[in-house]
Structure 1
Amino acid sequence: MTTVLVIGAAGKTGRAVTAALTSRGVDVRAAVRSARRAETAYAVGARSISVVDLETGSGLDEAVVGVDAIYHLAPNVHPDEVGIADRVAGAAARAGLSRFVFHSVLHPDDASMPHHLRKAAAEKVVRAHLPGATALRPAAYHQNLVDAVLAGRLSVPYSLDSPFTNVDLGDVAEVAATVLTRPGHEGLTYELAGPEVLSVRDQAHVATDLLGRRVEVSHVALDDWVAGPGTSLTAQARDDLLAMFAAYDRAGLVGDPATLRRLLGREPRTWAQALVAS
């Protein structure tokens, strides 16, 4: 049986990738920050747990023993994204692994977003260790907005009219499982964008029609965001996200769905389909 180490398995993306792998009969070893997060990974099918400190590399060499592939996803907007990538890919290289998938981001070379640039640098570090590594570059997820829509109010700290090609998390996980378990993806980079160009205002309108009740949409002033949700973040994470909001104001985040369509062998899930599935 194939065994895949999923880094960040307790998070939203890690859980989705774990579920997609286990549905294919893959044995998943979940790398988590602490033993208390193990139940989250076990709940979606992980067979074993490795406690790993990505900031120091403690536990990494033990975690990669006996696995056939690694899926690496760093904590969101982490300041040491590049160092973490170096430690994880280095452990994979020392173990003689060749199948490695790095979870990047759509448009990692966009200089207006510092955390995107760290993803770009991390891609290079990974491939310095493992030239055959595969990079996935997903757009923002439909699921990021589902809870707010179901609650009836969609509020964001960027333009309500900027364009996005949001992608379904399940589709991203399905592609990840394919790339991790089938040959032919070595050394490639895949942009994973959804099939529709929609603004936040458009998404609220679609949700209103689909749910049969009004979904309000509003813009949150940056000062209010900083004084609200931003207070729980480090200064670096707050600045990263403020830069991202400014980039979204200018151009949104849009990619080409052709690659995702080809990898799935079907049409990617739409925003309405993601809402129905929630």
Structure 2
Amino acid sequence: MSVRDTWVSRVTNSYFLGSKPYPSLPITVIENTGEDYQSNTKKIFYGLELIYRKQQTIHPSKRHKWYLLVGCDTYVNVPHLKQLDPYNFTQPYFIGGSIGEGICYHKNGTSYNSLFVGGNTAHIFSAALVEELYPHLSVYVQSIWPQPNHSAAGASDVALSCLIFSLGYNMTILPGLWRRSPNGIIKEFGLRATLKVKEPSSWHYIHPAQMIDLDEFYAYQYVDRLKNDQNWYELVDFIHLFIGTHYETLRKHQPNDTEKLVRTYR
């Protein structure tokens, strides 16, 4: 809920993937999946398929340039995603913030060790990469990746990395896509190393209350920066966006049937 009410409210296109509808969220229902960790990989693979197909129905000029895949406990500082500007979305890019070691699988069931891009930071796919992945998503998750009774079934970040690497593409690691909360990163790397990243783009393991605190901090920071740069056009655009999404969020918190709650005046 805090994700919807903070940074996602200012994103042009967003999708909440789930196995069933939820009253307070615009869930994109992925059929034949569950709400447990083991079904996570199928939900994401099928979700990417569905989103890609939706994109093909709209004009090319309005399609996504980048796909950002995060969990519901991740805060994304959207203006800082300008760090993607040097990368061409028409080329296949697989971008993340951390690297781990995992196990990939061949179709015959044999396995091999591989690096993977940690999904606890963020997975960022260029539009070109998603186009290349699309024909392989269902086949991979149904025939190659272990099924829900296997311990690796829910490791969607490993599964995505294995598929992408098997198609011959590499990973790009960017600073500032953090895999922990601010306190967790400081504890892991130290304050000095953490502060070297001037423009963090995301934080993970964020409590709902902290999600609001981070959003408030970065909103003020962004406004102050635009003011100091005398970037009035972008400042006005952001203020209009912020006001619009604020009232849209308030409306979402209202009961569906408000007529019975309104006093009738004569």
TM-score of the superposed pair, with normalisation by structure 1: 0.29
Which structure carries more relative contact order (alpha carbon 8 Å, separation 6+)? 2
TM-score of the superposed pair, with normalisation by structure 2: 0.30
Q: Please say which structure displays the higher CA radius of gyration.
A: 2
